[in-house]
Amino acid sequence: MTGAATNMRMKLPITCLILQIILIILFGTIVQYDDETDAKEWHEHLHNGSKDADNDFYYRYPSFQDVHVMIFIGFGFLMTFLQRYGFSSVGFNFLIAAFALQWATLMQGFFHGLHGGKIHIGVESMINADFCTGSVLISFGAVLGKTSPVQLLIMALFEVTLFAINEFILLTLLWAKDAGGSMTIHTFGAYFGLMVTRVLYRPNLEKSKHRNCSVYHSDLFAMIGTIYLWMFWPSFNSAITAHGDDQHRTAMNTYYSLAACTMSSYAFSSLTAHDGKLDMVHIQNAALAGGVAAGTAGEMMLTPFGSMIVGFLAGIISVLGYKYLSPILEEKLKIQDTCGVHNLHGMPGVLGAIVGAVTASLATPDVYGKGMEDVFPQIANGEFTASAQGARQAISLAVTLGMALLGGLLVGFILKLPMFGAPSDAICYEDSIYWEMPGEESHDNQLTAVRTEEVEKLNG
Amino acid sequence: MTGAATNMRMKLPITCLILQIILIILFGTIVQYDDETDAKEWHEHLHNGSKDADNDFYYRYPSFQDVHVMIFIGFGFLMTFLQRYGFSSVGFNFLIAAFALQWATLMQGFFHGLHGGKIHIGVESMINADFCTGSVLISFGAVLGKTSPVQLLIMALFEVTLFAINEFILLTLLWAKDAGGSMTIHTFGAYFGLMVTRVLYRPNLEKSKHRNCSVYHSDLFAMIGTIYLWMFWPSFNSAITAHGDDQHRTAMNTYYSLAACTMSSYAFSSLTAHDGKLDMVHIQNAALAGGVAAGTAGEMMLTPFGSMIVGFLAGIISVLGYKYLSPILEEKLKIQDTCGVHNLHGMPGVLGAIVGAVTASLATPDVYGKGMEDVFPQIANGEFTASAQGARQAISLAVTLGMALLGGLLVGFILKLPMFGAPSDAICYEDSIYWEMPGEESHDNQLTAVRTEEVEKLNG
Amino acid sequence: MTGAATNMRMKLPITCLILQIILIILFGTIVQYDDETDAKEWHEHLHNGSKDADNDFYYRYPSFQDVHVMIFIGFGFLMTFLQRYGFSSVGFNFLIAAFALQWATLMQGFFHGLHGGKIHIGVESMINADFCTGSVLISFGAVLGKTSPVQLLIMALFEVTLFAINEFILLTLLWAKDAGGSMTIHTFGAYFGLMVTRVLYRPNLEKSKHRNCSVYHSDLFAMIGTIYLWMFWPSFNSAITAHGDDQHRTAMNTYYSLAACTMSSYAFSSLTAHDGKLDMVHIQNAALAGGVAAGTAGEMMLTPFGSMIVGFLAGIISVLGYKYLSPILEEKLKIQDTCGVHNLHGMPGVLGAIVGAVTASLATPDVYGKGMEDVFPQIANGEFTASAQGARQAISLAVTLGMALLGGLLVGFILKLPMFGAPSDAICYEDSIYWEMPGEESHDNQLTAVRTEEVEKLNG
């Protein structure tokens, strides 16, 4: 079943080894412990009155681990819904995340500011690296089943770079706020991936259509991913917000947004089915849209009430997107979006960006008090008005969409180079081209054997 | 296979949307950030000498997330043991939990005391809301496979309300201690659910008996739920105890109680089988009884020794319940308890309540020192004697049993209303009446196809 | 299929109950709350100026829970890769861990120093008990599928004891550093298990060979174990390091070691396959070797650069071990290592020990500053030179290897006693000898029924 083109014997090892050796050299050259991970520096802080409990590790490491679970279990298992692509879903997710988090450390470190020519790292940079990785995994969802691991590593290489540039423009140049990444992570990752999959359009993909669906147990595996993403989204959105009320409030806003989103997702999943039956695709995905949509405004004084409205709308938009918009995108715009990332990350991300812009423009000292300094430092120090902050948030959305679409266009064409070993249209969504499959004695293969016998008998 | 009665096309969307819109309106009207999540209020605390590290977020959020995992992964996957009810187990667990945690915020907030007519929320209310949700999910275990999602939402609506009233009586009126909820959560949830399933008794349930059992992989999915519940139970019992030694001690007591319980569960599972083989039902459930039974006394000076005895007994009681009592309850009392919640939550909850009453009545200043103020403030300030505290604990158990049984009776009759779309006796424990099932091309369905061919050939 | 020898009806209950009752008696006699879990003692600390936030619970409990997940989900599910041994993998892992953590509390408490004849326990002892348990579970991996639960409990009894002695020699007598246990946990557990499986050599194990392999979904279950181990390894290595920079740095070093290891594992898995296909065995195991190899030096000033080199090498060594060394060990040395623990824990553990010795010998005050006191207190106070510390690390490795091999030899012969009910060579890797299997009506058994019909028809 494996043609020469998809044989990864040389391509994959060489790509992995070259990338990793470059990473090691660059880390050796320009990366250092920050003040909180360096033995000498931290103990000087202690000497000057800090306490071990002040180390940022204790403020952020539990959140980091929750984010880490989302990246590796959440995204990885969410994509195992396909019947014969579970190894690749979890396995390639694992590979490209392991690469992307290292590369992101360098790219984000470079743009976030060097210290004497060096990148300083600690738990906050680890969270940011995982965030950037999340964006790559969103794009992976759009091209799932149709790309080789080498293509995915190359995509990650470029996408991380562009992510870091976009993030720099938004957070440093425009002073936008986007702690949970409605724009930087979700909107960027989704539209980047959609453009890549558009460029990689496969007119004969129906040859693999019979594998582009789930089976009973693959849907249960996918639910592991869904539930972990859902549970830990409050940690995701709050992981890098300011200490104190900011982390606390962001987590809580996200919690209520997700709860409301789940209710509207179930409602619309049942409502849009002719027989009222729930669709696992909606439950696995749309119920998460509330987390995406609370990514920008979650740290603001959105109130639980506001969070619930946002989540409620996100769930509706997402289900309707899966039901009505995805088929149109595929037929009219030739966008083959395997996981429907437009519905889970794209539209809810845009919604989140808009909610963030509106909420920012409504910020008043009366509501935020001294807390304004943490959420909107430029409003607090009089540099911007609230409206100006809102405008910058809106501009950030536009920049993100532009960067994502242009970047995806560029990278899509790069990925079309034949040397990267993309599978042919007839063997998409199939693990066996990249993985040793379990042996002949296995349970599943005994089934196959029975089926084969049966078919032969019916034929003969 | 789906009759008109079980078609959820209108019932489920309308129920979800009405409930969620009511929730949003109520949240908009009466819910506010508490002092630790509100930007202005928290920064006034900071101004008055608090530090960000004092924010309750850092004391409780990791425990909250562990509890959250128990609610959504633990309960959800524990119930996937049924061969064709995995979608519903995880999916309805998800739906009713998303509803119940919002509704619980309101009900508990109302009874825990308003602030100027408003409910103030933060991480502690989030934990409490998850706790209350846990109680509903325990009841769900009793009726699993025999109720529609609309029935479950209605059950959650009433059960949360009654839970909050019972909790108010116990904690506020009687000054009982029950941090891990042996009474408020487990005893209440179990007996409420048992009474509901009694009222909903199905004389012809044997028509669905062939689906009321596990398959190999469904038992493995269920073990995911079991293990997560087991691991995080120390966080559950300690999540809302006082800061410092209380949280620390509660977690440790629970850890040892669970370890001892696991040992006795394995011993009795093997001992009660004619051929010495272990029964997955016992391992999946009885091994958790030690957490339930440490729910009241866990925060007290129970000692690791005492905790282990409690866990050891809980495991034995639970296995014996599954083996000998459940069949009697079903035959004689017409209680069809799908997950055996009486054995996992009912009896161990009562045991926990009794252990709590005894341990409280033995509290002395010599053992607790100044720590008495955290565990038993009324004993510390001389309001009660230790015996009086013990008596109040015992009364609390009686109140809980009464509330649960009466409440379950009432709600059971409400759920019998035909409009809620319960499945008929012949299609219980079956996902396909509520869920779009994976398509014809799937692996499982190919199996079905083979089977069908086979059967036809054998017949003709 | 179950012979008299493997009938656990009396053996398993008696073993569990005797062990647990002994544990309870010993806990009742010699175990006490430590100062941070005891109500009275902690409140005296508070009286003397401590704060609740200083309680070690807040520094270590989140790490403890991550470690706990690795022990019960990580190890448990990693071993579910076998097609018909999932119940036993998760279930026996659960049982022996529940026993071992209690026994380890006593053994480690005894060697770590008594307080007035009593063992004092709290979150740090809980982490240490879980660590010791991890070592037993590594050995379990070597004998997986070939031992009865009674044998496993007896093995745990002895292994925990020897672990505690070895740990005492290393950490207390030799003053070696080994926070993440490259030596104490991984090297010890692996070589102990390898020697046990050598002594238990089964010449006719090929009779069960058809069950010693995976199926599609069992490999996905195993990936749950892998990914959890991978994600939480930073917490494992940092769980008991000093507060502040030490925990922070250790977690970060491990994170980068693992990322680099994943890249090299994928590269070499593909490179060593004739058709370039990835092997699930490598991905499930070798990608974790970077965590093992960072177990000793992770807390040192290894730098992210150094960590990545270590992880990179560990991945390569591990894949090559699975590919080329394991078959040799089995054929020439008669070591039947079911999970390949030599490749995941043995060689990477030794590598980690060597890296630790080298890194320690290079420690300078210029790099560590005042932080030297936390990492190498004997170097800081002038008791040792850095070279001497390095030498002690190297001696520790030798001691560990000796203790593990001798201990394994001894325990292997004990386990050969026929009364422990080992399965015969023809029924290894088979759940049904120890577990009630799902009933006849199940999906899998329907498949079996179809297969049986089919075979009969073909034959007749």
A217 touching B, CB under 8 A? yes
| pLDDT of amino acid C143 | 98
Segment A386-411 mean pLDDT:
98
Tokens of B457: 């050939």
Asked if the C-beta of B457 comes within 8 angstroms of chain C's C-beta atoms, the answer is no
Overall average pLDDT of the C331-352 stretch: 98
Q: By the CB < 8 Å criterion, does B244 face chain A?
A: no
Which chain C residues are within 8 Å of A43, Cβ to Cβ?
A: 245, 369-371
Over residues A305-333, the mean pLDDT reads 98
CB interface of A with C, residues 81-140, below 8 Å: 84, 86-87, 90-91, 94-95, 98-99, 101-102, 121-123, 126
Q: What is the CA radius of gyration of chain A?
A: 23
Q: How big is the B-C interface in CB pairs under 8 Å? A: 248
C contact test, residue of A57, A96, A137, A235 with most C CBs within 10 A = A57
The amino acid at residue B32 is Q
Within 10 angstroms of residue A286's Cβ, the number of other Cβ atoms is 31
Instruction: Using an 8 Å CB-CB cutoff, list chain C residues near B262.
Output: 94-95, 98
Query: Quick check: C227 contacting A, CB < 8 Å?
Result: yes
Side chain identity at residue C434, one-letter code: Y
**Cβ pair B39:A312 closer than 8 A:** no
How confident is residue A374, by pLDDT bands cut at 50, 70 and 90?
very high
CB interface of A with B, residues 195-214, below 8 Å: 210-211, 213-214
Average pLDDT of span C434-458:
54
**Interchain proximity A55–C244, CB inside 8 Å:** yes
- What's the confidence (pLDDT) of residue C6? 76
Q: What residues in B contact C62, CB-CB < 8 Å?
A: 62
Q: How far is B415 from chain A (nearest CA, A)?
A: 20
Amino acid C3: pLDDT: 53
Q: Share the mean pLDDT of chain A.
A: 94
A221-278 pLDDT, tens digit each = 999 999 999 999 999 999 999 999 999 999 999 999 999 999 999 999 999 998 999 9
Average per-residue pLDDT for chain C: 94
Do C219 and A438 lie within an 8 Å CB cutoff?
Answer: yes
What tokens appear for A10 in the block? 């040389």
Q: Which of A15, A140, A107 is nearest to A417 (CA)?
A: A15
Q: CA of A41, closest CA in chain C: separation in Å?
A: 8
- Confidence label for A5 from pLDDT (cuts 50, 70 and 90): confident
User: Strand, coil or helix: what is C33?
Assistant: strand
Distance from CA of A246 to the nearest CA of B (A): 7
DSSP 8-state symbol, C436: P
* Nearest CB partner across the interface for C259, out of A98, A439, A442: A98
In three-state form (DSSP H/G/I as H, E/B as E, the rest C), the secondary structure along chain A is: CCCCCCCCCCHHHHHHHHHHHHHHHHHHHHEEECCCCCHHHHHHHHHCCCCHHHCHHHHHHHHHHHHHHHHHHHHHHHHHHECCCHHHHHHHHHHHHHHHHHHHHHHHHHHHCCECCEEEECHHHHHHHHHHHHHHHHHHHHHCCCCCHHHHHHHHHHHHHHHHHHHHHHHHHCCCCCCCCHHHHHHHHHHHHHHHHHHCCCCCHHHHHHHCCECHHHHHHHHHHHHHHHHHHHHHHHCCCCCCHHHHHHHHHHHHHHHHHHHHHHHHHHHCCCCCCECHHHHHHHHHHHHHHCCCHHHCCCHHHHHHHHHHHHHHHHHHHHHHHHHHHHHHCCCCCCCCHHHHHHHHHHHHHHHHHHHHHCCCHHHHHHHHHHHCHHHHCCCCCHHHHHHHHHHHHHHHHHHHHHHHHHHHHHHCCHHHCCCCHHHCCCHHHCECCCCCCCHHHHHHHHHHHHHHHHHC
> Which pLDDT belongs to residue C439?
61
Q: Is the pLDDT of residue A186 over 80?
A: yes
Q: Mean pLDDT over residues C250-272, rounded?
A: 98
Q: Which of residues 308-327 of B touch A (CB under 8 A)?
A: none
Distance from CA of C340 to the nearest CA of B (A): 23
Place A1 in a pLDDT band, splitting at 50, 70 and 90. very low
Convert the pLDDT of each residue in A425-454 to its tens digit: 999 999 999 999 996 434 444 444 444 444
CB atoms within 10 A of CB B5: 15
Nearest-CA residue of chain C relative to A122? Answer: C252
Question: What is the CB neighbour count within 10 angstroms for residue A397?
Answer: 23
Could you tell me if A440 lies within 8 Å of chain B, comparing CB atoms? no
Q: Exposed e or buried b for every residue in C11-24, given b needs 16+ CB within 10 A? A: bbbebbbebbeebb
What percent of chain B has a predicted confidence (pLDDT) above 70? Answer: 94
Tens of pLDDT along C153-209?
999 999 999 999 999 999 999 999 999 999 999 999 999 999 999 999 999 999 999
What's the CA gap between A29 and A22, in Å, rounded?
11
CA-based nearest distance A387→chain B, Å = 20
Q: Is the pLDDT of residue A94 over 90?
A: yes
pLDDT band for position C459 (50/70/90)?
very low
A residues 139-158 near C, CB within 8 Å? 149
pTM above 0.80, yes or no: yes
For range C53-70, the mean pLDDT: 97
Closest partner CB to A454 (pick from B55, B72, B450): B450
Q: What value does the mean pLDDT take over residues C329-348?
A: 97
Work out the percent of chain C whose per-residue pLDDT is above 70: 94
Select the residue of A243, A244, A279 nearest B436 (Cβ to Cβ). A279
Low-confidence spans in chain B with pLDDT less than 50: 1-2, 440-460
Among chain C residues, CA nearest to B208: C441
| Cβ <8 Å between B219 and C36 | no
Closest residue to B278, CB basis, from C2, C42, C434? C434
CB contact under 8 A, B33 and A287: no
